[in-house]
Amino acid sequence: KVNEGFKPLMQNLNHERMVIAMQAIRQSRLCIQNAVEFARSRKTFGKPLISNQVIRHKIAEMARLTESCFSFAETLAFQLENGVKNEIAGSMALLKVMSSKTFELCAREASQIIGGSSYTREGKGQEVERLYREVRSYAIPGGSEEILMDFAMKASKL
């Protein structure tokens, strides 16, 4: 119908944004996994790196944000599955922003924990190096973070 093309476009973007968000959540979990494995195996001053409170807090923050994203994604997936489509475009935009920002934080913190090895494409830090390099490829598709934040606020009619 004339002048009603925006609704189907937003519904298709809901699916795309959900896929990107779930991929970013998975990548965040990989960052956490790599950081934990490294921190358990790396010894500093005769103790495992993970025995340092600051390292555990970094990992806890990564987990807190990642699990929050996953919970938000499950809620929106349930709504999509039960026929809610038009009303969640703003929330879907926020999920995509939240998950890409969480992935960026997790990649940065995992890199901090792993240290110099996370800069090389070989060795113990190679997966985190790749993940850190790919962060921006989750922030831009489906709408950049700034555009999606503005869209979400407009959708909420503030």
Tell me the pTM. Answer: 0.89
Spell out the alpha helix ranges (H) of 42-124: 53-81, 89-114
Lowest mean pLDDT among 23-37, 57-71, 90-104, 105-119: 105-119
Question: Is the pLDDT at 11 greater than 70, yes or no?
Answer: no
pLDDT of residue 39: 96
Burial class (CB in 10 A: 0-12, 13-18, 19+), 97: buried
The count of C-alpha atoms lying within 13 angstroms of the C-alpha of 139, restricted to the half-sphere facing its C-beta, is 13
Q: What is the C-alpha separation between 138 and 101, in angstroms, rounded?
A: 9
Average pLDDT for 67-84: 94
pLDDT band at 1 (very low <50, low <70, confident <90, very high): confident
Q: What is the C-alpha separation between 80 and 104, in angstroms, rounded?
A: 26
Give the model confidence (pLDDT) of 96-133 as tens digits.
999 999 999 999 999 999 988 888 777 788 889 999 99
